[in-house]
């Protein structure tokens, strides 16, 4: 057996060279109130440009969004000028994926970052910092339609369609929404009934059908519509851009939460749309929808883990000043246990979010669709379950204040109303768990495994 001296010598020979690693501090330093790289932890994912963007976003959220969020949520609307403001700052383009679409975006990336530098972690910083407002409704009112309605056009539309629509939306002049869900078809996209039939001369489609729970529908000028152009099942689905006009009726729906987001019931009645508005190829819309889901779900994940973190941060701040039975809430073991369970779930989930975000940075796009789909589905379930858990625990800590609109518990009360808008849309928790394992088994069969699948 080697003695301690021998072991020390071996360890010295095997030691790695020292590396100059950035370990900075940003924010209020409430324990776990911000991601680890804000609180002296080293990270391989972020550089100076991400830190610059973080400071830019923190200032924007704290000065232009946070002070008005409760007012906007109660009014169930945000100022129309806010959409243009997001556009001018580059924030609408910032949330539609990478690379930066220089050809179609009227504005450059925020914080002086070049289009060539822009990567998925810049988008993560934007998405994360925006979620500090603790209102899904306010965020969705501005960014949701763009984030999910524009990418199908960007990735699969003709050059003419892209040039006609994308600059108008990213410039803040026109609004867009994604129309997938129907009264009888939610997660089962292949079962949708809205129909598009070509005219006799082949120049147009006539669209009839209904869409339900469509975010931003009442605001939209463009509707990215999944509709049936062929037979039953996924092989008969196409995506077509419909412009607001005769035959398009939108009606605002009353939902439990996300009040400002403009959740909409849409009716298309003999709506005539040029065939030039077809996205990609006819009957391939299901593929485009699935392609779009990965980015949509990852954005939900990035938001959800910050919403969970807001619940923890607010709970700690409240627990430091609220006294019961002669001592602060944070000095009660049962409260500390709640905070600890929130923190462990948030920190573990954040690492998974960053790991998947890194894969989107380094993997070819065509490989992401097949390789990451199952993991992102499971991650979506993990993030929203974590978010829902933290909402519940934070309300228990706040007591009656967490059940009261406005005041000290404003953020957690609002998130309690909004949370189900993350556990259901974009793929419900149950569907995500099922899909995640099915896709993992399918992927294992392709890659090879010693077990029969």
- Taking only the tens of pLDDT, the chain with its 453 residues reads 555 555 455 445 555 455 567 899 999 999 999 999 999 999 999 999 999 999 999 999 999 999 999 999 999 999 999 999 999 999 999 999 999 999 999 999 999 999 999 999 999 999 999 999 999 999 999 999 999 999 999 999 999 999 999 999 999 999 999 999 999 877 778 889 999 999 999 999 999 999 999 999 999 999 999 999 999 999 999 999 999 999 999 999 999 999 999 999 999 999 999 999 999 999 999 999 988 899 999 999 999 999 999 999 999 999 999 999 999 999 999 999 999 999 999 999 999 999 999 999 999 988 888 889 999 999 999 999 999 999 999 999 999 999 999 999 999 999 999 999 999 999 899 999 999 999 989 888 777 666 666
Question: Which residues are CB-neighbours of 317 under 8 A, at least 6 positions away?
Answer: 30
- Which pair of structure tokens corresponds to residue 15? 């030691």
CA–CA dist 347, 35 (Å, integer): 8
Peptide bond just before 99 cis, omega within 30 deg = yes
CA–CA dist 375, 20 (Å, integer): 33
- Which pair of structure tokens corresponds to residue 203? 């120049």
In this structure, what DSSP letter does residue 3 have?
-
E strand segments, 216-281: 222-228, 237-243, 248-252, 264-274, 278-279
CA–CA dist 139, 127 (Å, integer): 10
Residues 182 and 193 sit within 8 Å (Cβ to Cβ): yes
Q: What is the pTM of this model?
A: 0.92
In this structure, what DSSP letter does residue 260 have?
G
Query: Tokens 């602060």 sit at which residue?
Result: 328
- Which pair of structure tokens corresponds to residue 35? 């991601």
Neighbours of 403 (CB within 10 A): 12
CA–CA dist 42, 44 (Å, integer): 7
The CA R_g of the chain, rounded to the nearest whole Å, is: 24
């Amino acid at each position: 057996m080697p003695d301690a001296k021998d072991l020390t010598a071996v360890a010295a020979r095997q030691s790695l060279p020292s590396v100059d690693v950035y370990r900075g501090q940003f924010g209020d330093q409430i324990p776990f109130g911000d991601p680890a790289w804000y609180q002296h932890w080293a990270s391989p994912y972020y550089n100076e440009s991400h830190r610059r963007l973080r400071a830019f976003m923190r200032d924007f959220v704290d000065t232009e969004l946070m002070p008005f969020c409760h007012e906007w949520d109660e009014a169930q609307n945000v100022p129309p000028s806010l959409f243009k403001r997001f556009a001018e700052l580059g924030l609408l383009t910032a949330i539609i994926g990478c690379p930066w679409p220089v050809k179609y975006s009227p504005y450059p990336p925020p914080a002086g970052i070049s289009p060539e530098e822009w990567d998925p972690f810049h988008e993560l910083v934007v998405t994360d910092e925006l979620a500090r407002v603790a209102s899904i409704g306010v965020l969705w009112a501005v960014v949701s339609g763009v984030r999910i309605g524009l990418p199908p056009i960007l990735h699969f539309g003709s050059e003419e369609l892209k040039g006609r629509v994308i600059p108008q939306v990213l410039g803040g002049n026109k609004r867009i929404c994604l129309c997938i869900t129907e009264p009888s078809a939610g997660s089962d996209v292949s079962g949708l009934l809205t129909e598009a039939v070509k005219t006799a001369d082949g120049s147009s489609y006539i669209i009839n059908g209904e869409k339900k729970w469509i975010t931003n529908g009442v605001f939209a000028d463009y509707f990215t519509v999944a509709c049936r152009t062929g037979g039953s099942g996924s092989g008969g689905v196409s995506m077509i851009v419909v412009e607001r006009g005769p035959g398009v009726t939108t009606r605002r729906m009353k939902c439990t939460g996300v009040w400002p987001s403009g959740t909409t019931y849409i009716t298309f009645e003999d709506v005539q749309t040029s065939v030039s508005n077809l996205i990609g190829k006819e009957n391939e819309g299901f593929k485009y929808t699935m392609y779009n889901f990965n980015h949509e779900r990852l954005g939900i994940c990035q938001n959800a883990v910050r919403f969970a973190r807001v619940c923890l941060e607010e709970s700690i701040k409240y627990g430091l000043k609220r006294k019961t039975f002669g001592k602060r809430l944070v000095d009660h073991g049962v409260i500390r246990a709640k905070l600890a369970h929130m923190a462990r779930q948030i920190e573990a989930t954040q690492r998974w979010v960053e790991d998947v975000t890194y894969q989107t940075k380094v993997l070819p796009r065509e490989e992401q669709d097949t390789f990451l789909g199952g993991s992102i589905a499971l991650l979506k379930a993990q993030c929203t379950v974590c978010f829902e858990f933290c909402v519940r625990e934070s309300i228990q800590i706040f007591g009656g204040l967490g059940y009261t609109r406005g005041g000290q518990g404003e953020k957690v009360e609002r998130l309690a109303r909004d949370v189900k808008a993350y556990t259901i849309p974009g793929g419900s928790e149950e569907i995500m768990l099922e899909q995640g394992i099915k896709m993992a088994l399918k992927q294992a069969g392709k890659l090879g495994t010693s077990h029969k699948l």
